[in-house]
A and B are shown apart, each in its own frame.
Chain A
Amino acid sequence: MRSRHLSPRTRALLFLVIGAVLLTVSGFIGELRTYQGAQVAVYMIAIASIILLTGYSGQISLGHGAVMAVGGYGAALSFNLWHFPFAIALLFGVLVGAFGGFVLGVAAARLSGPYLAGTTLALAVGLPTIADQFHVLGGEQGLNFDIGDPPRWVVRLEGGDFTQYKWFFWISIVVALVALWGITNLLHSSYGRNWRAGRNNAVAAGLAGINVARGKVLAFTVSSALASLAGALFALLLGLVTPTAFPLSLSFAIVTGAVLAGVGNLAGSIVGGVVLVAIPELSGSLTTHLGNSQKVSANLPGLVMSSSLILVVLFMPNGLRIRKFKKQVKTQ
C-alpha cells in the first residue's frame, strides 16, 4: 500500500536520528515550547492509536479518552500506592488499558460503524464516574502523579539548567518514538497485513484463512495499549489524574487529529499531534488580534477544528497530506 518501503534497519536508524535531533533541539527552545513539544508527543501516541484502529482495522472509537484515563489512573495508582518505579508504573498503566481494550474489543468486533461509535461514546461518558465509586481512585479530586525531579545523571549530562518540563519532554519524545517504531514494525508484519485485508474485504480475508474477528480484537487491544500509554504520559504532564481531565472533548480531539492527518498512514500521527497543539495556539494569537473577546477565545479553536474536520471528510479523505497516494482499492 505504501509507495515507499524502508528496511527495518533503516527505519530503526531513522527513529534514532529523529530522537537525537529532537533531544538536542530541546536545549535551545523555551520552557513553553518544550512543554508543547511534550504535548505533541503525547497526542502523537494517542492519534497513532486511532489511526491503527480506524485506518488499519476499520473500527472506530469515540471513547479513547476514557481508555487514556484508564492508563493514567493505572500509572498514577501503581506509582503512589505500590511505589512502582516510574517506568514500571507506565507499563502497568499500559497493561491495565490493554486488558480493558481486550474486553471492549471482544464486544467491538461484533459491532460496526455507528453502533460502535455510539457504544464507545457511552463508555466515554460512563467510565469516568467509576472514580467516584472507589475511595482508592480519589473521587472528584483524583490522584496526584508527581514523579519528582529529573534523576541526577540526566542533570549532570545536560548541565545545570535541566528543568522539569525538559525532563517531561525527554520522556515523552523517547516513549513516543519507541512506541511508534514498534507500531510501524507491527503494521509491516503479517498482523498489519491481516488487519488491512480484513478491513478491505472481510469475506475475502476470511477465505484466505485470516481470522478477521480475532484480528479486530487484537487491533482494539493494541490500540488501547497505545491510548493508555498516551494517557499515562498525559497524566504525567498534568501532574495529576482526575475524572474531568479526560473529557469527551479529548476523545473527539484525537479522532479529529487522526482524521485531519489521514487515517491511512501512521506517519500522519506526527501531523495530527502538531495540529492539535497548534490550532489552540494559533487561534489564541488570532484572538488577540480580534480584540481578546472571551467568546471568541473560547470557541475559535473548536470552530477551526470542526470546520477543518468537515472539509477533510468531504474533500480530502486521505487527510491533509501533500504527497499523493495511490488510489485506494475499492471495497465493493
Chain B
Amino acid sequence: MFIDTLLIGISSGAIYSLMALALVLVWRSTRVVNFAQSGQAVLSTYIGYEICLHTHNYWISLPLAIFAGAIVGSLVDLLFMRLLISRAKSGPIAEIAPVIATLGLLGLIQSFIGLVWGNTFQQYPSPLSGKGFTFGSHVIPFSPQNLFIVIASAAVLAIFGIIFKYTDLGLALRAASFQPEIAQLAGVRVSRVRNIGWAFAGAAGAVAGAVITPTSTLSPNSLDLLFVSGFIAAVIGGLDSLVGAVVGGLVLGIGFSFILQYIGGSVTFLVGFVILMVVLLIRPQGIFGHKVNRRA
C-alpha cells in the first residue's frame, strides 16, 4: 500500500513539476506569474486532441501538441506580454496588472476553446493502458500511462537541465534572468531569449496537459486545478529555481497522494493552501530560491 501510494504520488508529482517548471521559466524571464499557463496548456492539449482525431495516432499528436504549446507560449509573449509590460507601468493597477491581464488571457483562451470545441468533456485517449500493473494476483494502481507520465516528465526535465547547464542558449537564458541589463551589454539579445523562455514554458505545460489528459477527460477548465498545484509546487521550491520546481512538485505530489490515501481526498487543496501559507511565512524565498532575487 505504501509503495502504491508513493508511485501514484511520483506520477502526479511529475505533472506538478512540469507545471511548476513552466511557471518558473516565465517568472525567471519576465518576473510575471503566468495565470494563463493552464489555459495555454489546455489549448495545446486540444490541438493534440484534434490531431489525434484525424490521425488516430497519439504518438503523432503528442509532439505536435508540444510544438503547438511552444508556439502559443511564444505568441503570448510577443503579442501580449510585451505590450502589457510597456504600457502598464504606472497607474492604479500597475502592481497587479500582470495578474489581472494573465487572468483575462486565461478567460479568453478558455472561452475561445469553448467556442471551437464546446464545453463538453472530451476523451483524448492514449494507446497505453490505464489499468494498473499486475504482480501475481496483486493489481497496483500504477498504470503504464502513469509510467509514461513519469518517463516523459523526467525526459523533459533532463532536456531542460542539459540546455540550461551545457548550451550557450542556456547560459543566455540564465544571464537574461539574472541581470537583464548586463546580459544585454554582454551581447545577449534579452527580448529574444525571453521569448524562448516563454516558448519553453509553453512546451512544458503542453507536455503536462497532453500526458495527463488521457487519464481523465478534457474540457476547457480541466487543467485549472493543475495550475494551483503547480503554483504551490513552484513556491515551495522557490519561484526562480528550476531544481526547486521539480523538488516542490514531487514533494507536493507525494504529499497529496498520502493525504488522499490516509485522510481523504476532499481536503487536499486545503492542505495545499496551508502548506503554501507556511512556506510563504517561514521561508518566503522557497527551499531553493535566492533571497536577493525575490522582488515580492
Contacts and interface: CB of A to CB of B under 8 A. Distances in A.
A117 B99 contact: yes
Interface string A103-124: 0000100111111011101110
Interface stretch (B87-95, B153-161, B172-180, B197-205): B87-95
A331 B94 contact: yes
A122 B115 CA distance: 28
Interface stretch (A23-31, A88-96, A128-136, A214-222): A128-136
Given A119-B276, A122-B228, A129 B84 contact: no
A196 to B, nearest CB: 10
A309 interface: yes
Interface in A293-332: 294-296, 298-300, 302-303, 305-307, 309-310, 313-315, 317-318, 328, 330-331
Contact of A111 (B33, B228, B280): B280
B95 A58 contact: yes
Contacts of B15: none
B114 A133 contact: no
Contact of A318 (B91, B224, B272): B91
* Most B C-beta atoms less than 10 A away, residue of A259, A300, A315: A259
Contacts of B224: 248
Contacts, number: 166
Nearest to A330: B90
Contact of B296 (A113, A298, A299, A300): A113
Contact of B277 (A60, A107, A306, A307): A107
Interface in B68-121: 80, 83-84, 87-88, 90-101, 103-108, 110-112, 114-116, 118-119
B254 interface: no
Contacts of B296: 111-115
Nearest to B114: A299
A303 B115 contact: yes
A229 interface: no
Contacts of A122: 228, 231-232, 269, 272-273, 276
A107 B281 contact: yes
Contacts of B101: 309-310, 313-314
A302 B112 CA distance: 9
Interface in B255-296: 266-273, 276-277, 280-281, 284, 296
A42 B232 CA distance: 32
B231 A110 contact: no
A252 B107 CA distance: 9
B8 interface: no
Counting contact residues on chain A (CB < 8 A from B), the size range is 35 or more
Nearest to A248: B224
A263 B95 CA distance: 12
A269 interface: no
Given A331-B90, A331-B94, A129 B266 contact: yes
A306 to B, nearest CB: 3
B225 interface: yes
A313 B84 contact: yes
Contact of B33 (A114, A315, A318): A114
B115 A299 contact: yes
Nearest to B33: A114
A127 B115 contact: no
B35 interface: yes
Contacts of B35: 117, 121
Nearest to B227: A121
Given A299-B115, A303-B108, 4 more contacts: A255-B103, A306-B103, A313-B93, A328-B92
17 contacts: A60-B96, A62-B103, A114-B98, A114-B296, A115-B235, A115-B284, A125-B228, A125-B272, A129-B267, A255-B103, A259-B100, A298-B118, A306-B108, A307-B104, A313-B93, A313-B101, A317-B92
